[in-house]
Structure formats: C-alpha cells, structure tokens
A and B are shown apart, each in its own frame.
Chain A
Amino acid sequence: MEELFNISENGFRKITSTVRTAGSLDLIHFEPVLLCHRIERFMQLHGYASPEMLVEKMVRDKSFADFFIEGMRVPTTEMFRDPQMWVELEKNVFPKFKYESVVKIWVPDICGDDELNSLLIILERNNLLQKSMVYATCGFERGIEDAKFSQTDLKKMEISKENYRNVFGDNGSLEDYFTKRDKVFVFSHQLSEKAIFLKHNLMTEAPPDMGFNLILFRNRALFYSMQARKNCIEKLYQSLIGGGYFIIGIGETLRGLEQTTSFVPNSKTENIFKKI
C-alpha cells in the first residue's frame, strides 16, 4: 500500500532549499501542503527512500532537478472538466466575440493538454477558431512539446467523452477530433497547430501579449502559494482588455484580490468573471 505524508519537515526543507539552487524554477511559489504531498508521491514513483537521496541526485544532476520540478506540477484532470462551465462559455461568452475581428485567448501555465484541447474544440464548433489567437504557455519545454503532440489513453478518453456528451449532447463525438493509434488517441493536428505555443514563466515574465479577450486559468493557482497566486492573477488581469473574460476553477475564489483587480461575475456558479 502507498504511504502518505511520511517525510519530515526537515526533509521537506532540505529538498526545497536544494531545488532553489539546482533547479530552474523556485519551489517557493508552490503551496507547501500540496507540495509536500507531491514530493512524497514523486519519491514513491521514482524509488527514492529518503529526502537525502533525492537531494544528492539533484545536486549531481541539474537536469534531474528540472525533471523533479516538472513532477511537482499537477496536470489537468480531463477534457471538458465541469461541463456546465463549457456550456456557459458557449452560451454567454462566445456570442460577445461574434463581431470581433480577432479573438485573443490565453491559456497560461498549461500542464497537460486537456484544457487547451477542449478550448480548441469548442472554438472550432462555434466557428471561432479561424479568427482566434490562442496562446498556450508553459514554463517547461517538455510541457510545450507534450501539448503540441498531444495524445490520451483509453481510460481518460472515456471520462472526457462523458463530459463532452454533457456539454454537447449527442451532437458529434469527441473521437472525431482524435485519431486512434494502437492504444492511444492522438489529438487532431489541424486543431493543435492553431495554437501559439510559447515557453513562458508566469511567475517571472511579462505576459506574452496584451489585450486578451479571454483567459482560462482554471485550477492552476491551487498549487501556488497565496502570494504567487495574487501576483499571477494581477498579471493576468492587467493583460485582459476591459470587458475581457477570466475563468477560474469552481473551487477557487478571487477573494483577497478586490483591491488590485476589478471583476464582476458573469456566471457565479461556473466562476466566469468579466473585467470592468
């Protein structure tokens, strides 16, 4: 059986301080409670019996430190997660883009491809993809490559198909956007090539562009410390146009950001906000 939470606070500190010097991204931006669980999971998956063994490997091998940091990040769970949000997006937000000549959209800090691919599909279905500039950014080269050439396994496909049906009913099938190769489903290259993939560190770099009509930032800030979360959301807010839409996960909130951002809810249940 898997053990949970068995590293000491001292071991946790050793690891985080080593990463600060050996890795390319500072773990100080991560939420400590979740980070601790991620570290333990990583150690179990990769066979490290103690924090000391992990630290030793990171000191010797800088690329391993980056591999470790990448392992701390949490992929999105499935395509079309929280189907009602996508329904609201299609019904209440997309009609506002009808008369825009260009629609600028940013999916920051992608980890996995589910959110991006869901967005590309729904834009395509609403005839918005051709005039959209969809920025997909991630701090890791490998994260970008994985999203560019994305594929999904059968189990995840089944979960995503159920979500898809909850959004679109029987109107089309999710499999229409994939090609089956052996045991995996490869996402449509025609759609993914419409996205602009960029390596971008959301913590430290300026936005890749300004004047976004929509930013999809669902469940990414869960893994950031309070300060990092605040800094990121303020940065994203600044990059939106007035009247632009900002979406966070249904378990998230913008409380505590009232002084530095000005949003009104467009859908309270689905956490779709509009910049005023």
Chain B
Amino acid sequence: MLYVVIGGSAGSFPVVTGLLASLDKNFPFPMFLCLHRLKNVRTGFVEALRLKSVLPVSEPYDREPVLRGHVYLAPANYHMYVTKSETISLSTEEVVNHSRPSIDITFSSAARSFGSKCVGILLSGANKDGALGMKAIKEAGGTAIVQSPDECQVRTMTTAAIKAADVDYILTGAQIISYLQKLKE
C-alpha cells in the first residue's frame, strides 16, 4: 500500500489535470492533493478536476475514511491532515506559509502517518510551502519527487524543496505521470 500526496500552487493545475487524466482507473492508492486556492471560492475547483480525472475526486469532510483509488482535494480555507487510522482531519489552525491549506501540513502529517509508504510530489508554485513537508517525507523514509524547476511556471516552491530536502527525483510533468503509472507494478 502506498499513499500519494501532491502539493502545488501557481502553475500546478495543468500538471495535476494531466496526471489525473492519465492514470489508470484501477490506480490502487489514495491520492491527496493540497493545492493553494482562494479561500472564498468553494465551487469550481473540484468540478474542474473531476472533468479530467478518471478517478473519483472529492473534497473530504472531517474524519472521512480514506479509500483506495480516490483523490482527495484539500478544501478551501482548511488545512488537511492524513492520519494513521486512514482518515482525513481538517483544521482551521493558523495559516502556514501564508497558506490554508498548507502543503507542509499535509505532507508532514502523511510522512508521520505513513513513513516509507508515502510518496510526496511537489509541483510548480510561488512560495516555499512544501519544502519542510518534503524534508519530513524523506526523513520518514518516503519518496520525495519534485517537478523540474526548469519546467515549472513558477519555480520558487520546487527550488526551495530541492534546497531543503535530499529529494529522490527531479522529474518533468510527463515523467511524474509515467512514475505514477508504474507505481502499481
């Protein structure tokens, strides 16, 4: 069993939709998306992802049990934690890196909960959120993947992660898709 956590901000949307469109509908692992978004815009985002995705996509409610092959999008204005008991916890705690949801929170909770079974992927973005989360994933024995900064629309986020953590792979969007497709093998 693996747990895939993906974080992104400015410029990450095309990569995420490309990825969700390319996965096998029998993708066997849960996927958690923490993407920076406007706090008062609650509709449209998950619907746009659903249009492209072969997997079911939803914004979880607090304590929602995690299902395999399901994609969970962190809701606007909530932090999203994943827990050892395979549930999702939401929180209205203080913003982290000017963000709620914060990628560091989601990634770090996944690292703590799933250790070596955690695969973290950080995409394009305009601040440093996610860098510490990537470090936590690596330290917990998980796999840390960063989109190549050269390909990112905004490279601040991925560059910060590469600096903070000894990441396993620096890949293009296409290579990330290919990596995920091969995961179930």
Contact = CB atoms under 8 A, between A and B. Distances in A.
Interface of A: 1-5, 31, 33-34, 36-38, 41, 74, 76-77, 81-84, 162-163, 166, 219, 221-223, 226, 249-253, 255
B93 A33 contact: no
B39 to A, nearest CB: 9
B63 interface: yes
A48 B129 CA distance: 24
Given A4-B108, A5-B111, A33 B81 contact: yes
A222 B61 contact: no
Interface in B22-64: 40, 42, 59-64
Contacts of A251: 59-62, 75, 78, 90
A255 B60 CA distance: 13
A163 B78 contact: no
B126 interface: no
A223 B83 CA distance: 14
Interface string B91-130: 1111010001000110011011100000000000000100
Contact of A76 (B60, B89, B90, B92): B92
* Residue with the highest number of chain B CB atoms closer than 10 Å, among A2, A77, A163, A166: A77
12 contacts: A1-B131, A1-B132, A31-B89, A33-B89, A41-B93, A74-B93, A77-B92, A77-B100, A222-B62, A222-B89, A226-B63, A250-B75
A2 B136 CA distance: 12
B133 interface: yes
B77 interface: yes
Contact of B92 (A37, A38, A222): A222
A79 to B, nearest CB: 13
Nearest to A76: B92
Contacts of B109: 5, 33, 37
Interface residues of B, number: 34
Given A37-B93, A251-B78, 20 more contacts: A2-B96, A4-B132, A4-B133, A33-B109, A33-B113, A34-B93, A74-B94, A77-B92, A81-B77, A82-B42, A82-B77, A83-B40, A251-B59, A251-B61, A251-B62, A251-B75, A252-B61, A252-B62, A253-B64, A255-B61
A94 B44 CA distance: 29
Nearest to A34: B91
Contacts of A37: 81, 91, 93, 105, 109
A229 to B, nearest CB: 8
Contacts of A221: 62
A3 B112 CA distance: 13
Contacts of B64: 253
Per CB-CB distance, the 5 closest pairs between chain A and chain B, nearest first, are: A253-B61, A251-B90, A4-B108, A5-B108, A219-B92
B164 interface: yes
A170 B37 CA distance: 25
Contacts of B91: 34, 37, 74, 222-223
Contact of B62 (A1, A3, A4, A253): A253
Contacts of A252: 61-62, 90
B80 to A, nearest CB: 9
A222 B62 CA distance: 7
A250 B42 contact: yes
A269 to B, nearest CB: 8
A81 B39 CA distance: 9
